[in-house]
Amino acid sequence: MANQDMDSLRSAMKSGPWRNLLIIGSILVALLLFKPWVQIGAGERGIVLNFGAVQDKVLNEGMHFRVPIMQEVVIMDVKIQKAETDAASASSDMQDVALKVALNYHIIPDKANVVYQTIGVEFRERIIDPAIQEVMKAVSAKYSAEELIAKRPAVSAEIKEALTSRLLESNIAVDAFSIVNFNFSKVFMDAIEAKQTAEQHALKAKRDLERIKIEAEQTIAQATAQAEALRLQKMNISPDLIELRKIEANLKAIEKWNGILPQVTGNGAVPFIGVGGLEKK
């Protein structure tokens, strides 16, 4: 009886809707197991491998189909990435220099398969960090320690140019570069600070000297102007001017007189107005 039920079940599954459901179910299982598609996200590229061999085609963003078992797709990030690296070098005057630099870079999208094939996914450790170290040593050796500080923008631009040329050979593009910090030995920093202090004192002394000189020149100019004014006044004095001043003085005395004659001894005495003023003149 049991055998008959099993046979009836097999017959039912081989015909009608059961058969279609079985086929659909098998297809879904196969899709889940083999996953014949791949999705490439924003800022990514797909590297196609045929039995492990890198292919020339690079998959762009979106949905793509692959051949199960035969094809594998490796996803690489081609967005801008940031690397901060500590580098040690020496200046042209043999001062030890410790630098911290920041580099923004990205994989050239169309060359993502070449980067994967020649470098792999650990391109920062293998290519970028060593390149920064080497370029930093080469550039800093051209400048003295003081020049590294004073010409920081020029040093940064030269390092960026050298890194751009070097990393482009590995299909890595440089987007930005900056020197985060310079560090020197304590002895050198103390010497720089002492020099700056001396320069500031010298500049202050120079400014004080210029100020004193300007004030002296102003005093001389003022005295010269006063002397010239006195000279001109003396040149303008004439007998007529003296007589006019006497008359003006007498007129003022008359205006102030109250009409009372002074009490004097002697007959017929009259006041002499302006005598004292004339004598003084």
- Under a CB-based contact definition with an 8 Å cutoff, are residues 44 and 58 in contact? no
Percent of the chain surpassing pLDDT 70 = 63
Q: How far apart are CA 186 and CA 19, in angstroms?
A: 84
Helix (H) or strand (E) holding 58: strand 53-59
Amino acid type, 188:
F
User: What is the arithmetic mean of pLDDT over 35-55?
Assistant: 89
Q: What are phi and psi of 246, to 5 degrees?
A: -65, -45
Q: Which of 43-52, 93-102, 142-151, 268-277 has the highest mean pLDDT?
A: 43-52
**Structural domain boundaries of the chain?**
7-77, 81-184, 195-252
Least confident segment among 54-58, 158-162, 261-265: 261-265
Q: What is the pLDDT of residues 52-108, one digit of tens each?
A: 899 998 999 999 888 888 888 999 999 999 988 888 888 888 888 888 899 999 999
- Domain 81-184 maps to which CATH number in 3.40.50.720, 3.30.870.10, 3.30.479.30, 3.40.50.300? 3.30.479.30
Residue 280 pLDDT class (50, 70, 90 cuts): very low
CA distance linking residue 250 with residue 277, whole number of Å: 8
Q: Assess whether pLDDT exceeds 60 at residue 193.
A: yes
Enter the pTM of the model: 0.57
The two tokens of residue 18 are 């059961």
Cα–Cα distance for residue pair 76/4, rounded to 1 Å = 58
Distance CA 262, CA 112 (A): 125
Task: Identify the bridge partners of residue 193 per DSSP, sorted by sequence position.
Answer: none
Helix (H/G/I), strand (E/B), else coil: 170: coil
Instruction: For residue 10, give the amino acid letter.
Output: R
Per the prediction, the chain carries an average pLDDT of 77
> Of 65, 66, 64, 62, whose CA–CA distance to 41 is shortest?
62
Which range (57-61, 195-199, 245-249) has the least confidence?
Answer: 195-199
Cβ atoms of residues 193 and 185 within 8 Å? no
Provide the H-helix boundaries in the chain.
2-13, 17-34, 112-118, 123, 129-140, 145-150, 152-168, 186-235, 239-256, 275-280
Q: Say what the pLDDT of residue 2 is.
A: 47
More confident site: 222 or 257: 222
Structure tokens at 7: 């046979």
